[in-house]
Amino acid sequence: MQKAVILETARIVRSPDTQIYEMSTDDAIETIIGRFGRYQTWIWILIAIGRAPTDYQLSNVVFLLPNVEYVCMDDNAHNKTNHCPCENPIYDQTYIENSVTTTWNLICDKSHYASLAQSMLQIGILGGSLFYGHLSDRYGRRLACLVALFSEVLFVALSAIASKLWMFIALRFFIGTAVGGTMLCCFVILIELSGKSFRPYVTCLSEVSYLISYFTLPIIAYFLRDWRKLQMATSLPWIFVIFYYNLIPESPRWLITKGKTVEAIEILTRIARRNGRPTESIRDIVENINEEAVARNEHDSYLNLFKTPKIRLYTLIQAYVWLCCAHTFFGINQYIGRLQGNLYLNVMLSAASLAPGLILIVIACVYLQRRVTIVTSFVVSGVSLLVFIIIPSNMKSLELAFAIIGQIGAYTAFCQIYLYSTEIFPTIIRNSAMGFASVFARLGGFIAPFVVNIRVEWISILVFSTLALLAASLFYFLPETKDVVLLNTIEQTEKSKTKI
């Protein structure tokens, strides 16, 4: 029977003292439903469309809370530009007619409220990563994913009608929680519905929606130059996600770890039929997986990230690496944001510069080992920033070129870290582990502006570069995960023979 040969998630090598789980080259789930067939493509399309409000919120701060130019019309200001204090400003409306900044006059002694509104999104993502990570591991991938998608639409729309500044700031936090949940849960459910041989491509596919949203956002903002209209246009049209509950399935891998074999068999059978694959032996395959996959008293808790030595090491290193990814990426964005010229065109160019990174990610993930590609991305980012320091200040084009190279390096590292984290952690705590790591990514994004504002440019750049290179060095202590089957339990991970 197939059951006895190629349909194991892990091969057990018995010794007198213990069982060692040796990584298998065969993925039982992939054997059943295929690596990425018509059904998975359909799910990807649904998720890519449904998460657009999240992707818009990740990029729209330049249109919501821009730095504004104004002429102060106070009696003692003498029509000076950007004069403080100022009670009666007339704002430059060349690019944006009405923003959050101009609505509540967040200038002079109120400018810190603009920074607070920006930071609240990152704080919300931090909280959302923890909340939705736990929700997903406890109650299922589908529920967490759909709650995050709908919450994003709801909170963004509510922010558009906020009548008080404190309401808008509070809603920015709740928007952030949904952003964190959407990024985390949508990616994991796509990974768990895919075969191991297709995982490198899922990393790229999951970023397509972000790049499309990033590129189309300035086009929408160009025609809707009022922040309230922009928020409504990038949220309410996606109210249809409430119907996704009957369209997106639960993860069969998660169901198996919870011992829900009947539901897992039903979903796998439906997917297999849609993909034109045989269904006769699905029950035998799932029961065979279930013998070793059901978690033995492994409850989905963040404490499980620190109870055992391998998982603890993976958790601590991944947390630092995620912090460095976000810190470096958002830090470099601060410098690219200083470009002069048309606001809408600059944002489109910034989005377009990231597109080649996706092609590089797929090529690297398919043909190279995970650790090699991630380390290379960090090194490219770190070294390009070191070169940035020594470029003469009058060579603006060269500075921009190396800043973009550094941004691409940080971006490709970030994308690959998502994939690597899903592979290194077992199913029972996968979302919790990624949620915990994402918290540190938010911390990295939160402190990046403070490093930029040190006001000594070479010190700021050196900090970003050093952290990136240190993150690269830590991968010496982590295993290779290319072409390995996703393990389901902590016990399997602790006893696995991993490639170093």
User: pLDDT-derived band of residue 100, with 50, 70 and 90 as boundaries?
Assistant: very high
Determine the Cα–Cα distance for residues 82 and 77; give it in Å rounded to an integer: 10
pLDDT attached to residue 439:
84
pLDDT attached to residue 220:
95
**In this predicted model, which residue has the larger pLDDT, 383 or 327?**
383
Q: What percent of the chain has pLDDT over 90?
A: 30
User: Is residue 450 classed exposed, middle or buried when 0-12, 13-18 and 19+ CB atoms within 10 A define those classes?
Assistant: exposed
Across the range 350-373, mean pLDDT stands at: 83
Determine the Cα–Cα distance for residues 394 and 95; give it in Å rounded to an integer: 28
Determine the Cα–Cα distance for residues 435 and 137; give it in Å rounded to an integer: 10
Top-ranked range on mean pLDDT: pick from 102-116, 179-193, 216-230: 216-230
Across the range 151-175, mean pLDDT stands at: 96
pLDDT attached to residue 300:
57
Which amino acid belongs to residue 245?
A: Y
Pair 442, 326: CB distance under 8 Å = yes
Pair 449, 463: CB distance under 8 Å = no
User: pLDDT-derived band of residue 12, with 50, 70 and 90 as boundaries?
Assistant: very low
Chain centroid offset of residue 382 CA: 21
Mean pLDDT of the chain: 83
Residue reference for tokens 């799910």? 43
Across the range 87-98, mean pLDDT stands at: 88
Contacts of 180 (CB under 8 A, 6+ apart): 124, 125, 126, 127, 128, 129, 131, 132, 148, 435, 438, 442
Across the range 111-120, mean pLDDT stands at: 83
Contacts of 178 (CB under 8 A, 6+ apart): 54, 124, 128, 148, 149, 151, 152, 155
Q: What are the domain boundaries of the chain?
A: 34-258, 300-500
CA-wise closest residue to 50 among 157, 149, 180: 149
User: pLDDT-derived band of residue 173, with 50, 70 and 90 as boundaries?
Assistant: very high
pLDDT attached to residue 4:
34
Domain range 34-258, CATH class: mainly alpha
Sheet strand arrangement including 19-23: 10-14, 19-23, 496-497
In tens, the pLDDT along 235-286 reads 999 999 999 988 999 999 889 888 888 998 999 999 999 999 988 888 888 8
The fold of 300-500 is Growth Hormone; Chain: A; (1.20.1250)
Determine the Cα–Cα distance for residues 169 and 165; give it in Å rounded to an integer: 6
Chain centroid offset of residue 265 CA: 30
User: pLDDT-derived band of residue 422, with 50, 70 and 90 as boundaries?
Assistant: confident
User: pLDDT-derived band of residue 18, with 50, 70 and 90 as boundaries?
Assistant: very low
Token pair listed for 326: 């976000």
The DSSP line for 332-396 is HHHHHTT--S-HHHHHHHHHHHHHHHHHHHHHHHHHS-HHHHHHHHHHHHHHHHHHHHHS-TT-H
Across the range 435-442, mean pLDDT stands at: 85
Q: Enter the DSSP assignment of 497.
A: E
Contacts of 52 (CB under 8 A, 6+ apart): 209, 212, 213, 234, 238
**Angle, alpha carbons 6-362-278 (nearest 5°):** 30
Instruction: Indicate whether 116 pLDDT > 50.
Output: yes
The DSSP line for 41-58 is HHHHHHHHHHTHHHHHHH
pLDDT attached to residue 498:
58
User: pLDDT-derived band of residue 7, with 50, 70 and 90 as boundaries?
Assistant: very low
Across the range 5-33, mean pLDDT stands at: 51
pLDDT attached to residue 11:
40
User: pLDDT-derived band of residue 191, with 50, 70 and 90 as boundaries?
Assistant: confident
pLDDT attached to residue 290:
61
Instruction: Indicate whether 54 pLDDT > 70.
Output: yes
Which amino acid belongs to residue 233?
A: A
Pairing outcome for strands 19-23 and 496-497: parallel
**In this predicted model, which residue has the larger pLDDT, 335 or 302?**
302
Instruction: Indicate whether 295 pLDDT > 50.
Output: no
Element (H, E) at 458: helix 457-474
| Lowest pLDDT segment from 265-274, 289-298, 465-474 | 289-298
Instruction: Indicate whether 15 pLDDT > 70.
Output: no
Pair 357, 408: CB distance under 8 Å = yes
Determine the Cα–Cα distance for residues 279 and 272; give it in Å rounded to an integer: 7
Chain centroid offset of residue 14 CA: 39
Q: What percent of the chain has pLDDT over 70?
A: 89
Residue 319, number of CB atoms within 10 A of its CB: 18
Task: List residues bridging with 496 in a β-sheet.
Answer: 21
Check for a shared fold between 34-258 and 300-500: yes
pLDDT attached to residue 248:
93
In tens, the pLDDT along 55-66 reads 999 888 888 988
pLDDT attached to residue 222:
93
pLDDT attached to residue 338:
54
